[in-house]
Amino acid sequence: MRAAAPKTLDAGSEGLTPAQRQALVQIWAVLPQARLVGGVVRDLLIGRPVADVDIATPETPEQVQETLTAAGIKTVPTGLAHGTVTAAIASAPYEITTLRRDLETDGRHAVVSWTTDWREDAARRDFTINAMSRSRDGALYDYFGGQADLARGLVRFVGDAGTRIEEDALRILRFFRFQGRYGVGQPDADAMQAIMQRVELITRLSVERVWSELQRILTGPNADGLVTMMAQAGVLSVILPEGFTLGRFTGLVQVGAPADAVLRLAALLEKGREGAAQRLKLSRADTAFLLAVSHGPVPEADASDATLRRFLADEPARHLVGRTWLRQATLLAEAQANTEATSLPDAQAFAALRKRLEAMPRPVFPVAGRDILAAGHAPGPAVGQVLAHLRNWWMAEGCTPSREACLAQLQHGFR
């Protein structure tokens, strides 16, 4: 028989949404020793919205699953080998992980066993600000000074930085991501030294993990500062062996371009974009966008509507707009690098151009090969030539002639 969930909200859930608090009522009712851990604790301390509520408990995964099921809570065995059971409450997931210790690590994966020692579990986490836990009565457990580090904006590895990196090399990239979100001022010196000494460990990681983390860095807070920091530490050379340019990337951030990971990657890559896309296993759509914005003509700010229609007839607005951002970023980088430069690119002109491109409907050539045949032309290569000739006329006319006008031109001009 399902037990009725208590209505009293626990002090440990203060700061969460009403739905999250109600879910914790149910979980803590049957797992009273469980605590909030990691990012949820960190973000509650500084008043940031919490997306994911992660929980740890000394009970084994099997015990957790059995206990939750008996209480009528739906469970999903999302990672039993790593000690994680997901409770699904009101369509929201709550990951509950058994306290762990590392038995073996190889820089990518860890073999773990269960423990009941909260400090031991906290010691295997990456940064002090992520190693805190909070019980249902609201007590904060902070074994490594995470609260103080959070208050002063210091992203610091738990214990020895080199050891933490050797356990999982992805922590190198995670360090920069967290530095961008929570760090203030100069990065932790011990962390940077450990990273520079172990930067080649990144090559052991899967490119999917690297690209996933890199996207979050490129689109996150202080992206230009972080990328510069990564270049100085030697990280960027390992991630992007094709070569990179910092000036245009910094310029792209400074001109206020959208936080699009692929657009920012295009600004960062100096050459070898197709090879980089293949190596990072970008999707077909992302690869196409990367290559399109990196090459091709850019409309002038004072281009006529007819000229813009011609551009749009050949390419989607997203590609053209992306190129305008890269052009503006390049001009800004060149101006900043040139001590004799007296002016910066006209931001208002670029903004007006993008607004026009985005507002203008994309012209579609209204004639197809079957129309050429219907007009009496014999099948064969000549059909394509006539069609191309007719499209050139349509383009020259500003992409405005209708289907009827095109067919009339076909009858009178190309027989």
Q: CA Rg, the chain, in Å?
A: 29
pLDDT for the residue 171: 97
Separation between Cα atoms, residue 15 and residue 40, nearest integer Å: 10
pLDDT for the residue 277: 97
pLDDT for the residue 395: 96
Using one digit for the tens of pLDDT, what is the confidence trace for 138-191?
Answer: 999 999 999 999 999 999 999 999 999 999 999 999 999 999 999 999 999 999
Using one digit for the tens of pLDDT, what is the confidence trace for 212-258?
Answer: 999 999 999 999 999 999 999 999 999 999 999 999 999 999 999 99
pLDDT for the residue 413: 66
pLDDT for the residue 110: 67
Number of Cβ atoms within 10 Å of the Cβ of 152: 9
Instruction: List the one residue out of 68, 41, 36 whose CA is nearest residue 54.
Output: 36
Separation between Cα atoms, residue 413 and residue 407, nearest integer Å: 10
Mean pLDDT split into 10-residue runs, the chain, 415 residues:
60 95 97 97 95 96 96 91 93 96 69 92 96 97 98 97 96 98 96 98 96 97 97 97 95 96 97 95 97 96 96 97 97 86 85 98 95 88 92 96 94 66
pLDDT for the residue 233: 97
What DSSP state is assigned to residue 28?
H
Provide the angle, in degrees to the nearest 10, between the axes of the packed helices 61-70 and 18-30. 110
User: How far is residue 114 from each of residues 30, 134, 326, measured CA to CA in Å?
Assistant: 20, 20, 51
DSSP H stretches of helix in 153-304: 161-167, 170-182, 189-197, 207-219, 223-232, 235-239, 246-254, 261-268, 273-279, 284-294
Separation between Cα atoms, residue 191 and residue 123, nearest integer Å: 16
- Phi, psi for residue 77 in degrees, rounded to 5: -80, 70
pLDDT for the residue 106: 63
Place of tokens 């929201």: 92
Question: Contact 326/252 with Cβ under 8 angstroms?
Answer: yes
* Domains detected in the chain: 1-152 (3.30.460.10), 156-239 (1.10.3090.10), 240-363 (no CATH), 369-413 (no CATH)
In this structure, which amino acid lies at residue 258? P
pLDDT for the residue 1: 38
Question: Contact 113/44 with Cβ under 8 angstroms?
Answer: no
pLDDT for the residue 147: 98
Separation between Cα atoms, residue 97 and residue 86, nearest integer Å: 8
pLDDT for the residue 377: 86
- Phi, psi for residue 413 in degrees, rounded to 5: -110, -20
What DSSP state is assigned to residue 220?
S
Separation between Cα atoms, residue 241 and residue 227, nearest integer Å: 15
pLDDT for the residue 412: 79
Distance of CA 281 to the CA centre of its chain: 15
pLDDT for the residue 98: 97
pLDDT for the residue 107: 55
In this structure, which amino acid lies at residue 249? F
pLDDT for the residue 111: 73
